[in-house]
């Protein structure tokens, strides 16, 4: 499970059981959900139960886990239950057992054995295509489309929007989607990036794709598309092979409509709108895998985020004196860096700059958190930097955090100040009560005052006490 | 400079070439023990360039436009250097009695290693102890320290690694809060150290080795008497001393090592940097070769070989806790001595009540690879690579670089190249075991027995960790031949 | 106001388990499978194994698998596929042990099946075709020559493959490291750092006696132990102490199912959890493992044995012919075997020596450490 798939998991968990059941009809979906949505232990549980003849008694399951791993087990079970993958069955009065949902089990078994005639792993086109494209082309295409979207979001904020053509040819549908997802806001005809937009930009590519797709999913119903169809198509895309063309003849109308939108994102490629085939790009084939630890292909960040053909995926070097060197000529990367760096010099393949207090606090004001900056920097650290442990110089990491904290010296709580107590014992009693409720924010024992952020229970308590005293 | 390097690249018979090779050889490996005999003079540490400068020179000088290639070869060469062990099945002293002498004199406060020599040594020694018992499970060790003119005992002679490690850790963080950490102080005394070591090893049985390994940081020895008498006594008691010096060679160390090792001075090595210290230290975990010139060996009455009685206890699990004989603590399980039924907690151990050596059969098996070592693999020339048509490593299936086409760009030296390779081949037949291990031009390494080709990573893995040849063992006839061959070779 | 925790420097919240490499050694000894054919024919065992492999691959996106057949006359790769050693064509891809890259040569031959996840299909095809090839090349003479299987070779292959994969997965590029000595040579420091690849070996064994490979298998076990690679054993038939010891030494799982026909469930429940999952599961253990030694002369299991100090051969009796070791031929004196260590160090001698040297405080006795220790502190 990676950060990218966890958002998808959150989304999936919110879906009603009937949608789940429909989804699990497709072996590809069942497999994809198993592969990338489930926590590791949940996978272990599912696999142990998959070929079990009967239900799995809860006691046996407990016995299988170490006593100190109970929390992890409960977490795994609850995820499985929420996704309607396992069901709880009351066998006898005091014996419960777990069972896999029939459809899910069946589909997953089919996926593992490769049986059935569901054709859910994509039907390759069998006609020789004269205009066949190769993987490099697909990567380039996906990169261009995706960078366009990102640049559209970032461009105006950093004042680079007018200087080049990047970010111009973003489709209207995409723009609407970005607005609907609250990634950008348009005011006075200019695009302004929002806080969520920043989070989006600083994520890894894979997570970005999922974020955008989830917005897409949420709005699918408005476009008269069924969520199930959309989801299972996405999961199917994730199990396709890069560089292979697939036929569109077996797709449903909803899915055909989706193809158009997805090709605008750069997730699939079609030579023309009427073409009877489509190619998944790397953005699609890595949907259901981790982009970082992908073993089947080069990491996605390699092909997508770096414009040049560098061997390593990282390009940023940070020195302990806060100087930053980024080996890149990609405008997008420069734009992202300039969100929190004071860039000074630009060379054909290198930009250099400095992390300063102003640049960081400006970024923080824009809504970027220090941990986002740090994770961006370490995720894109130059291979030479990655030899270090920790990857970034500790001084720089600490300082970036401190700069952020500096802006948060005053923390505000809305609440109530309790004062003017009659006696020490009265004060103590109420203080202890507030502390036990967990509402106490601050206290000063000398002045006999304290501050709480909720008052309902305290006033109830006081009233009760008053009443008993009155009586 | 550039000229000589040119030679270096292609002509194996050049004088300078050999000098260079040998010098780096001594630098890298302390266990080339038998080699020094044949070589009348071996360059001293100051004559060899330091590892840093060598590598820089070579990178710079590979001027034939093939920089990448030479960098890679150099890398592989460095990896292989660690391999260069004696792979002839020599008789080795499997049962070792070792006293490890640490220098705790003020010279160890030098900061040429990080954070200083003393802390570096303490850290490496702990690792060393672990590795030592991994490699020599039925051996015994004692740790001494040269501190302020005296020699102190840090741990008693025993076969339990955790005792030694705990004792070494106590030097810096004593258990008893009243004692401050033992900081390096004063001058070391080699004589006192040797005397105490001799006393420690005095009663050890003659079938085991008696070794003293000294880590010596100082450039002096402050001795109370005539150290030459002590050396004589050590020779008489069959004690062999190895010294790992720091910063410079000392005449007296050379003499100690030479006299106690039958004239062989290869066990005196100098660590010029931290990495080398560790490497040299770990090199001594390999059991030493038994020399026939040793006086003890000449007299069969005191023969080194013996039949040792050992117990192979089985594990017991008890319902009720009982007292163990080793710590006097209540435990629920352990091993019972095969002779006296005393219960011990862990193996290998000498039974506390009847002095029988107790161990598991796996402990013995751990030493087998010293007795039946995996022979070194040879470099493969492009010609040979083509002949075999090997395209990937047998062990890990990673692809080899393709052999260059016949009319390669640097064709004018191609012929000369071939010839030297042939020459090397011919030489290999004569003294194949003595050949220096260096990087192979085709990145392939060939097992002599099964003629499989391996990559450098598998080469190092198989020789240093696995001690098996995956190629030989994957073919039935070869494995039989090898198995028999090894046994008969072990004389 | 919260205190600023500037020391909190870990940035990687590694919730995803590290990729796991599973090396499967499948014992394909025809003699043993013939015995099992009534309950579990080899073909269905392989079908079950394929499902298990798919399940393993599905359990983690970056999971990898390697399959080696340990046959009677040779140990052969089933997956990844070794390239044929004949015609060296230009194949300059950096084949780095990834399943995709190594599977590349067969790719065109894998039929596109819309009902199958493609990575699964590739591996299945490779294993089946290689296995068929292996059986085709097995001659009767090969079978007749030996009743056992080359587990030692297969384990060696598996371990060297794992070693290489681990190297390739380590965060630092092994070829560009500025400290080549620590790259592979020292396993300990490697493990002290984060290991990005967890590996394990699963041996599906059906053969009995493996005594002829005692040393190679033992070496493999120790190598696995040093690299912390658990060796799991699924013993469908036969019984060997050697493999039990392998599990015990490396912390693997030993299972000997009562009913071999339920192979898949055993695999799924017992052997699928990787190192990450095993931390929170109760895994079956080998129980009592017999560590007693068998003597080299009569293959008798002994409690007390006599060990040659030169070659470490174990004998059940001290009375060897001519007192010569049966293995290495050294002359062995028995007197040594009985002697216990002298309890008292001849103190007299030492004193004498020391007096030659100098002060009493230099005496290497028990009192020395205390004597030198106190003045330092007080």
What single string gives the DSSP state of each residue in B101-116? Answer: EEE-SGGGG--SSSS-
Chain A partners of C198 at a C-beta cutoff of 8 Å? none
Asked if B390 and C336 come within 8 Å (Cβ–Cβ), the reply is no
Question: Which residue in chain C is spatially nearest to A72 when comparing CA positions?
Answer: C280
Q: CB C336 to CB B179 under 8 A?
A: no
Cβ-nearest to B468 among C92, C152, C329 = C152
Taking CA atoms, what residue in C is nearest to A5? Answer: C16
Would A123 be classed as within a structural domain?
no
- The pLDDT of residue A323 is 92
pLDDT digits (tens, 9 = 90+) for A339-369: 889 989 989 889 999 999 999 988 888 778 8
Reply yes or no on whether the pLDDT at A303 is more than 60.
no
Of the pLDDT bands very low, low, confident and very high (cuts 50, 70, 90), residue B191 is very high
What torsion, rounded to 10 degrees, do the Cα atoms B34, B40, B46, B47 define? -120
Question: Does residue A268 sit in helix, strand or coil?
Answer: strand
pLDDT of B291:
67
Of A357, A380, A406, which residue constitutes the final position of a domain?
A406
- Under DSSP, is residue A257 helix (H, G, I), strand (E, B) or coil? helix
C4/A contact by beta carbon, under 8 A: yes
Q: Does A191 reside within a domain?
A: yes
> Does residue B363 surpass a pLDDT of 90?
no
A438 and A396 in one domain?
A: no
Q: For residue B417, what pLDDT is reported?
A: 41
The pLDDT of residue B114: 78
A402 and A420 share one domain: no
Q: Is the pLDDT of residue B10 over 80?
A: no
Determine if the pTM surpasses 0.90: no
User: Using 50, 70 and 90 to split pLDDT, how confident is the model at C174?
Assistant: very low
Residue A120 belongs to a domain: no
The pLDDT score that the predictor gives to residue B342 is 86
The reported pLDDT for the residue numbered B437 is 61
More confident call, C377 vs B200: B200
Q: How far is CA A372 from the centre of its chain?
A: 13
- Give the single-character DSSP code of C313: -
pLDDT band at C210 (very low <50, low <70, confident <90, very high): confident
Contact B399 C376 (CB under 8 A): no
Q: Is any Cβ of chain C less than 8 angstroms from the Cβ of A136? A: no
Q: What is the pLDDT of residue B71?
A: 66
Judge whether residue A135 has pLDDT over 60.
yes
Which chain B residue shows the shortest CA-CA distance from C167?
B457
Tell me which chain C residue has its CA closest to the CA of residue B91: C310
User: Which residues, numbered 88 to 107 in chain C, qualify as contacts with chain A under a Cβ-Cβ cut-off of 8 Å?
Assistant: 98-100
For B319-361, write each residue's pLDDT tens digit.
Answer: 788 888 877 788 887 888 888 888 888 777 778 788 787 887 7
Its domain, for residue A83, covers 3-113
Instruction: Report which of C336, C302, C338, C309 is spatially closest to residue C325, judged by C-alpha positions.
Output: C309
Residues C358-371 have a mean pLDDT of 39
Q: Which of A158-162, A453-457, B418-422 has the highest mean pLDDT?
A: A453-457
Q: Which residue has the tokens 């000294």?
A: B214
**C59 contacts A47? CB cut-off 8 A:** yes
Q: What's the confidence (pLDDT) of residue B111?
A: 86
**Chain A positions in Cβ-Cβ contact with residue C16 (cut-off 8 Å):** 1-2, 40, 290, 293
| Closest chain A residue to the Cα of C266, Cα to Cα | A48
Contact B99, B105 (CB under 8 A): no
* C226 and chain B in contact, CB less than 8 A: yes
The verdict on a CB contact (< 8 Å) between B462 and C87 is no
Local confidence band at B478 (pLDDT 50, 70, 90 cut-offs): very low
Q: What is the pLDDT of residue B63?
A: 46
Place B82 in a pLDDT band, splitting at 50, 70 and 90.
Answer: low
pLDDT for B28 equals 41
Judged by DSSP in three states, A205 sits in helix
Which string of DSSP letters, residue by residue, matches C155-211? HHHHHHHHHHHHHHHSSS-TTT-S-HHHHHS-HHHHHHS--S-EEEEEEEE-----G
CA atoms of C214 and C378, how far apart (whole Å): 58
Is A144 found in the same domain as A281?
A: yes
Distance from the Cα of C65 to chain A's closest Cα (Å) equals 11
C-chain CB neighbours of B455 within 8 Å are 164
Supply B19's token pair. Answer: 């000098």
**Is the pLDDT assigned to residue A300 strictly greater than 70?**
no
- Mean pLDDT, residues A1-23: 75
Complex ipTM over 0.90: no
Contact C74 B474 (CB under 8 A): yes
Element (H, E) at C67: strand C64-70
pLDDT top residue among B225 and C294: B225
Q: Which of C144, C309, C314 to mutate to test the interface with B (most CBs of B within 10 A)?
A: C309
Per the CB < 8 A criterion, the answer to whether C158 and C201 are in contact is yes
pLDDT for A88 = 84
Do the Cβ atoms of A66 and C11 come within 8 Å?
Answer: no
Domain ranges for chain B, please list them: 2-86+372-489, 96-298, 313-358
User: Is the per-residue pLDDT at B180 higher than 90?
Assistant: no
Q: Test C95 with B392 for CB contact under 8 angstroms.
A: yes
Kindly state whether residues A53 and A91 are assigned to the same domain: yes
Alpha-carbon distance C312 to nearest alpha carbon in chain B (angstroms):
7
Report, as an integer, the average pLDDT of B308-313. Answer: 82
Position B433 pLDDT exceeds 80: no
- pLDDT at position B243 is 94
Whole-angstrom distance, CA of residue A235 vs CA of residue C62? 18
Average model confidence (pLDDT) across chain B: 73
pLDDT at B241: 93
- CB-based contact C55 A112, cutoff 8 Å: yes
Checking if the pLDDT of A291 tops 60, the result is no
Residue C7 has what pLDDT?
38
Highest-pLDDT range among A189-193, B111-115, B374-378, C50-54: C50-54
Q: Which of residues 263-302 of C touch A (CB under 8 A)?
A: 264-265, 268-269, 272-273, 276-277, 279-282
Among A135-149, B84-98, B276-290, B390-404, the minimum mean pLDDT is found in B84-98
Question: A22-31, A370-379, B21-30, C245-254: which has the minimum mean pLDDT?
Answer: B21-30
Q: Pairing state of beta strands C231-235 and C198-205?
A: parallel
The answer to whether residues A187 and A317 belong to one domain is: no
Question: Is the residue at A293 inside a domain?
Answer: no
Domain boundary among A372, A406, A440: A406
* Interface contact B473-C337, CB threshold 8 A: no
Cα distance between the two ends of chain A = 61
Question: Do A69 and C15 count as a contact with CB atoms less than 8 A apart?
Answer: no
| Residue A127 covered by a domain | no
| Chain centre distance of CA C184 | 17
- The residue-averaged pLDDT of C191-202 equals 67
CA distance C127 to chain A (A): 14
Q: Which range among A459-463, B394-398, C175-179 shows the weakest confidence by mean pLDDT?
A: C175-179
Would an 8 Å CB–CB cutoff place A115 in contact with chain C? yes
Q: Please check the confidence at residue B175 and state whether its pLDDT lies above 70.
A: yes
Query: Closest partner residue to A2 among C11, C16, C281, by Cβ?
Result: C16
Query: Quick check: is A84 in a domain?
Result: yes
* Chain-chain contact of B474 with C341 (C-beta, under 8 angstroms): no
Tokens of C333: 């004196």
**Is C290 in the B-facing interface, judged by CB distances under 8 Å?**
yes
Which residue out of C63, C94, C114, C180 would a mutagenesis test of the A interface target, given it has the greatest number of A Cβ atoms within 10 Å?
C114
Q: What is the CATH number of the domain that holds A433?
A: 3.30.70.2610
**Which band of pLDDT confidence, cut at 50, 70 and 90, is reported for residue B313?**
confident
Q: Are residues A107 and A206 in the same domain?
A: no
Residues of chain B with pLDDT > 90: what percent?
15
Q: How many CB atoms lie within 10 A of CB C92?
A: 9
Pair A79, A155 in one domain: no
List, for residues B123-143, the tens digit of each pLDDT value: 999 989 988 887 787 788 999
Dihedral (Cα; A191, A193, A196, A199), 10-degree rounding: 130
Distance from CA of B315 to the nearest CA of C (A): 8
Tens-digit pLDDT profile for residues A200-216: 887 777 778 888 888 88
**Which of B33-47, B108-122, C288-302 has maximum average pLDDT?**
B108-122
- pLDDT > 80? residue A34: yes
pLDDT reported for residue C201: 92
Q: What is the pLDDT of residues A437-455, one digit of tens each?
A: 778 888 888 888 888 888 8
Residues 310-349 of A with CB under 8 A from C: none
Do residues A322 and A356 touch, judged by C-beta distance below 8 A?
A: yes
Same domain, A156 and A244: yes
Q: What is the pLDDT of residue B226?
A: 92
Average pLDDT over residues A19-39: 85
CA pair distance A283, A265, nearest whole angstrom? 9
| C99/A296 Cβ within 8 A | yes
pLDDT band, very low/low/confident/very high, at B229 (cuts 50, 70, 90): very high
Chain C: closest CA distance from residue B16 (Å): 26
Spatial contact of A58 and A98, defined as CB atoms under 8 Å apart: yes
Contacts of residue C55 in chain A, CB cutoff 8 Å? Answer: 47, 50, 112
The three-point CA angle A460-A465-A470 to 5° equals: 125
| pLDDT confidence band for A278 (50 / 70 / 90) | confident
What pLDDT score does A256 carry?
Answer: 84
Higher pLDDT: B426 or A56? It is A56
Which residues in chain B are closer than 8 Å to C184, comparing Cβ atoms? Answer: 79, 457, 460-461, 464
Check whether C187 has a pLDDT greater than 90: no
Band of pLDDT at residue C180, cut at 50, 70 and 90: very low
CB of A51 closer than 8 Å to CB of A108 = no
Reply yes or no on whether the pLDDT at C349 is more than 90: no
d(CA B198, nearest CA chain C) in Å: 9
pLDDT class of B44 with cuts at 50, 70, 90:
low
Residue C270 confidence class, pLDDT cut points 50, 70, 90:
confident
For residue A221, being part of any structural domain is answered with yes
pLDDT of residue A313: 64
Pair C193, B428: CB distance under 8 Å: no
Residue B388: closest CA among chain C residues belongs to which residue?
C85
Residue A40, pLDDT score: 85
Structural domain contains residue A92: yes
CATH tag, B96-298 = 3.40.50.410
pLDDT beyond 80 at B244: yes
DSSP string, B375-415: PPPEE--HHHHHHHT--B-TTT-PBPPPPPPSS-TTGGGHH
Among residues A406, A425, A455, the one where a domain terminates is A406
Lowest mean pLDDT among A42-51, A365-374, B363-372, B443-452: B363-372
pLDDT in tens, A82-124: 888 888 888 777 788 888 888 888 888 888 888 777 777 777 7
User: What 3-state DSSP class applies to A144?
Assistant: helix
Does position C348 have pLDDT exceeding 60, yes or no? no
Contact C282 A63 (CB under 8 A): yes
- Top-confidence residue, B97 or B476: B97
Number of domains in chain A: 4
Helix, strand, or coil (residue A391): coil
Domains of chain C, earliest start first: 20-83+96-278 (3.40.50.410), 292-342 (no CATH)
Judged by 3 or more CB pairs under 8 A, whether A touches B is no
Q: Are residues A200 and A275 in the same domain?
A: yes
Q: State the chains in contact with A (3 or more Cβ–Cβ pairs under 8 Å).
A: C
Q: Is the per-residue pLDDT at B459 higher than 80?
A: yes
Neighboring chain B residues of C356 at a CB cutoff of 8 Å: 225-226, 229
The residue among B438, B103, B109, B113 whose CA lies nearest residue B272 is: B113
Mean pLDDT calculated for residue range B381-407: 80
Pairs of CB atoms within 8 A across B/C: 341
């Amino acid at each position: 499970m990676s950060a990218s798939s966890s958002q998808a998991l959150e989304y999936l968990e919110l879906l009603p059981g009937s949608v789940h059941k429909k989804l699990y009809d497709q072996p590809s979906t069942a497999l994809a959900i198993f592969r990338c949505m489930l926590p590791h232990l949940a996978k272990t549980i599912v696999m142990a139960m998959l070929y079990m003849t009967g239900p799995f008694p809860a006691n046996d399951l407990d016995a299988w886990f170490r006593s100190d791993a109970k929390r992890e087990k409960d977490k795994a079970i609850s995820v499985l239950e929420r996704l309607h993958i396992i069901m709880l069955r009351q066998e006898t009065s005091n014996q419960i057992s777990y069972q896999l949902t029939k459809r899910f089990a069946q589909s997953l078994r089919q996926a593992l054995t490769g049986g059935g005639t569901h054709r859910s792993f994509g039907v390759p086109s069998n006609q020789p295509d004269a205009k066949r494209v190769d993987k490099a082309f697909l990567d380039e295409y996906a990169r261009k489309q995706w960078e366009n979207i990102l640049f559209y979001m970032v461009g105006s904020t950093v004042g680079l929007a007018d200087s080049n053509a990047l970010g111009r040819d973003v489709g209207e549908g995409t723009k609407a989607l970005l607005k609907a997802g609250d990634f950008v806001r348009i005011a006075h005809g200019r695009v302004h990036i929002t806080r969520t937009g920043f989070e989006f930009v600083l994520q890894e590519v894979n997570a970005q794709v999922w974020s955008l797709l989830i917005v897409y999913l949420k709005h699918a119903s408005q476009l008269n598309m069924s969520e199930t169809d959309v989801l299972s198509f996405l999961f199917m895309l994730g199990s396709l092979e890069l560089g292979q063309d697939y036929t569109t003849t077996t797709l449903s109308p909803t899915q055909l409509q989706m193809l158009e939108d997805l090709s605008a994102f750069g997730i699939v490629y079609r030579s023309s709108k009427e073409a009877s085939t489509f190619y998944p790009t790397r953005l699609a084939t890595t949907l259901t895998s981790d982009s970082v630890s992908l073993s089947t292909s080069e990491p996605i960040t390699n092909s997508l985020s770096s414009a040049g053909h560098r061997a390593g995926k990282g390009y940023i070097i940070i020195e302990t004196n806060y100087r930053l060197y980024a080996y890149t000529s990609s405008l997008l990367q420069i734009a992202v860096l300039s969100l929190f760096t004071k860039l000074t010099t630009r060379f054909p393949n290198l930009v250099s700059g400095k992390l300063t207090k102003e640049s960081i606090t400006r970024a923080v004001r824009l809504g970027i958190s220090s941990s986002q900056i740090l994770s961006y920097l370490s995720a894109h650290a130059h291979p030479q930097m990655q030899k270090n442990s920790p990857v970034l110089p500790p001084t720089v990491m600490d300082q970036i955090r401190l700069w952020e904290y500096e802006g948060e010296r005053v923390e505000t709580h809305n609440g109530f100040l309790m004062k003017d107590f009659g006696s020490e014992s009265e004060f103590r009693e109420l203080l202890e009560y507030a502390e036990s409720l967990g509402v106490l924010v601050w206290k000063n024992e000398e002045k006999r005052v304290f501050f709480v952020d909720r008052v309902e229970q305290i006033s109830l308590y006081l009233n009760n006490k008053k009443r008993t005293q009155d009586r | 400079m550039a000229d000589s390097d040119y030679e270096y690249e292609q002509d194996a018979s050049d004088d300078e070439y050999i000098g260079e090779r040998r010098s780096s050889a001594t630098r890298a490996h302390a266990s080339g023990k038998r080699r020094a005999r044949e070589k009348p003079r071996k360059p001293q540490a100051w004559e060899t360039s330091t590892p840093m400068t060598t590598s820089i020179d070579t990178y710079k000088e590979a001027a034939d436009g093939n920089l990448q290639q030479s960098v890679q070869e150099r890398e592989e060469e460095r990896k292989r250097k660690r391999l260069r062990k004696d792979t002839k099945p020599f008789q080795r002293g499997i049962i070792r009695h070792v006293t490890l002498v640490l220098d705790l004199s003020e010279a160890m406060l030098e900061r040429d290693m990080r954070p200083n020599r003393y802390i570096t040594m303490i850290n490496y020694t702990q690792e060393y102890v672990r590795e030592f018992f991994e490699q020599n499970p039925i051996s015994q060790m004692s740790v001494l320290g040269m501190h302020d003119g005296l020699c102190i005992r840090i741990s008693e002679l025993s076969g339990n690694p955790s005792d030694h490690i705990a004792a070494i850790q106590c030097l810096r963080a004593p258990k008893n809060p009243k004692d401050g950490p033992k900081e390096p102080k004063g001058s070391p005394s080699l004589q006192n150290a040797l005397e105490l070591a001799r006393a420690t090893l005095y009663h050890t049985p003659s079938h085991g080795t008696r070794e003293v390994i000294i880590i010596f940081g100082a450039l002096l020895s402050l001795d109370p008497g005539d150290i030459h008498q002590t050396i004589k006594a050590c020779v008489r008691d069959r004690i062999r001393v190895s010294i790992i010096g720091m910063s410079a060679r000392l005449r007296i160390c050379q003499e100690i090592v030479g006299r106690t090792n039958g004239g062989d001075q290869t066990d005196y090595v100098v660590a010029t940097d931290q990495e080398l210290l560790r490497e040299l230290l770990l090199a001594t975990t390999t059991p030493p070769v038994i020399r026939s010139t040793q006086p003890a060996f000449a007299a069969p009455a005191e023969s080194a070989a013996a039949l040792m009685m050992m117990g192979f206890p089985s594990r017991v699990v008890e319902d009720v806790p009982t007292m163990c004989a080793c710590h006097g603590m209540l435990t629920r399980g352990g091993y019972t001595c095969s002779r006296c039924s005393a219960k011990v907690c862990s193996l290998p151990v000498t039974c506390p009540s009847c002095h029988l050596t107790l161990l598991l059969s796996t402990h013995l098996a751990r030493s087998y690879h010293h007795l039946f070592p995996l022979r070194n693999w040879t470099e493969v020339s492009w010609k040979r690579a083509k002949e075999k048509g090997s395209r990937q490593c047998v062990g890990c299936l990673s692809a080899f670089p393709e052999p260059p086409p016949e009319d390669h760009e640097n064709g004018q030296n191609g012929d000369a190249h071939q010839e030297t390779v042939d020459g090397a081949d011919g030489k290999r037949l004569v003294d194949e075991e003595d050949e220096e291990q260096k990087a192979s031009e085709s990145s392939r390494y060939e097992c002599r027995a099964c003629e499989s080709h391996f990559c450098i990573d598998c080469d190092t893995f198989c020789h240093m960790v696995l001690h098996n040849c995956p190629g030989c063992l994957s073919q039935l006839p070869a494995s039989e031949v090898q198995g028999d061959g090894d046994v008969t070779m072990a004389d | 106001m919260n205190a600023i925790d500037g020391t909190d420097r870990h940035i990687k919240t590694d919730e995803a388990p590290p990729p796991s490499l599973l090396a499967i050694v499948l014992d394909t000894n025809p003699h043993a499978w013939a015995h099992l054919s009534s309950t579990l024919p080899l073909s269905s065992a392989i079908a079950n194994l394929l499902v298990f492999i798919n399940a393993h691959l599905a359990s983690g996106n970056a999971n990898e698998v390697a399959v080696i057949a340990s046959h009677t006359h040779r140990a052969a790769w089933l997956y990844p596929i070794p390239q044929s050693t004949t015609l060296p064509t230009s194949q300059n891809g950096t084949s780095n042990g990834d399943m995709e890259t190594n599977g590349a040569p067969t790719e065109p031959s894998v039929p596109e099946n819309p009902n199958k996840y493609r990575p699964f299909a590739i591996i299945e095809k490779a294993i089946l075709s290689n296995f068929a090839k292996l059986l085709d090349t097995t001659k009767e003479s090969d079978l007749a020559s030996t009743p056992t299987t080359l587990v030692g070779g297969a384990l060696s292959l598996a371990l060297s493959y794992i070693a290489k994969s681990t190297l390739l997965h380590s965060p630092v590029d092994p070829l560009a490291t500025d400290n080549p000595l620590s790259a592979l040579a020292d396993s300990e420091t490697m493990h002290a750092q984060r290991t990005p690849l967890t590996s394990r070996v699963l041996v599906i064994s059906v053969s009995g006696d493996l005594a002829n490979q005692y040393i190679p298998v033992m070496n493999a076990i120790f190598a696995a132990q040093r690299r912390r690679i658990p060796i799991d054993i699924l013993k469908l038939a036969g019984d060997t102490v050697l493999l039990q010891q392998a599990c015990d030494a490396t912390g693997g799982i030993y299972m000997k199912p009562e009913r071999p026909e339920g192979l898949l469930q055993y695999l799924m429940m017992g052997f699928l959890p990787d190192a990450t999952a095993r931390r929170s599961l109760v895994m079956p253990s080998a129980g009592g493992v017999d560590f007693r030694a068998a003597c080299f002369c009569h293959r008798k299991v002994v409690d007390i044995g006599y060990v040659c100090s030169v070659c470490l051969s174990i004998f059940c009796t001290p009375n060897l012919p001519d007192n010569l070791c049966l293995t290495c031929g050294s002359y062995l004196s028995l007197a040594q075997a009985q002697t216990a260590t002298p309890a008292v160090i001849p103190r007299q001698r030492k004193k004498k020596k020391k007096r030659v040297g100098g002060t009493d405080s230099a005496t290497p006795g028990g009192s020395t450490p205390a004597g030198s220790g106190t003045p330092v502190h007080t």
